[in-house]
Amino acid sequence: MKSLKGKVAAITGAGSGIGRETAVLLAQHGCHVALSDVNEQGLAETAERCRSHGVQVRTVRLDVAQRQAVHTWADDVARDMGAVHIIINNAGVGLGATLEDTRYEDFEWLMNINFWGVVHGTKAFLPHLKAAGEGHIVNISSVFGLIGFPTQSAYNAAKFAVKGFTEALRQELEVEDLPIGVTCVHPGGIQTNIARSARMIHRQGWVDERSAADFEKLFATTPARAASHIVAAILKNRRRQLIGLDAVLIDLMQRVMPTLYQRILVAGARRRRQKMMMPGPTA
């Protein structure tokens, strides 16, 4: 896709963070946007910013875990806006817990959004991208789709699944010589509210009330910077997009030492666990 002007992009999780900034940047390029989120107030704020750039904007409250609702949204966007050229499956949630403490209900909740939401969005919009004659699919994975991390087994499972799903899809479309690009995005620490809004199942020595704040200290990349990488990946038809220096370093670490990196993370987790188990203010 060489130009975004006059195209139509659908974005999930557009009420804040990466989804919001990507929607605004697309609008700046003259791209019309269809926005969805469960956060209606955030969605309205994103829509207002996009409309200031003179493009068409449609919004809907949407839970991407609901298959039929996603398919209905895709059909409505194609009908109301004339076509759909881009789908960005961005909606996601977080969960911090050891596997032992993770309830099946929490695991299913996260997978239904972080993995099945991507599948629903891709399958719902793919026929419309084909009908438009060109298009691009962007699926948001994570650096946790590249490496495993303690207390992130459910999140790891979903993001690894998104990576494999996306890479297989791109190959299928290339075999058929279809003019639809597919990009798997692996953000590092992005300054969004995903950690603060994540479900945390507390366990002494593993997860406590400070865990979300500790994660946020590692978030170095702004959502606007992430959006610029995503838009560039669409225009350059990249297979994969790493976002942030931390993502680049994690990717390198995983490729250079695919098993040793686990020992490094274990050592770090042990030190943190010992600190958390200490009584008193020093903990």
What are the catalytic residues? 155
Nearest alpha-carbon partner for 11 in 274, 273, 55: 55
Number of H helices, E strands in the chain: 10, 9
Strand order through the sheet with 32-37: 57-61, 32-37, 8-11, 86-89, 135-140, 180-187, 240-243
3-state SS class at 187: strand
Residue 159 CB contacts under 8 Å (≥ 6 apart), including other chains = 114, 141, 142, 144, 145
Residue 158 CB contacts under 8 Å (≥ 6 apart), including other chains = 110, 111, 114, 115
9 pairs with which residues across the strands? 33, 86
181 pairs with which residues across the strands? 136
Nearest alpha-carbon partner for 213 in 83, 96, 113, 42: 96
Nearest alpha-carbon partner for 99 in 163, 152, 46: 152
Long-range Cβ contact pairs of 276-283 (< 8 A, separation 24 or more): 276/204, 276/205, 276/206, 276/208, 277/204, 277/205
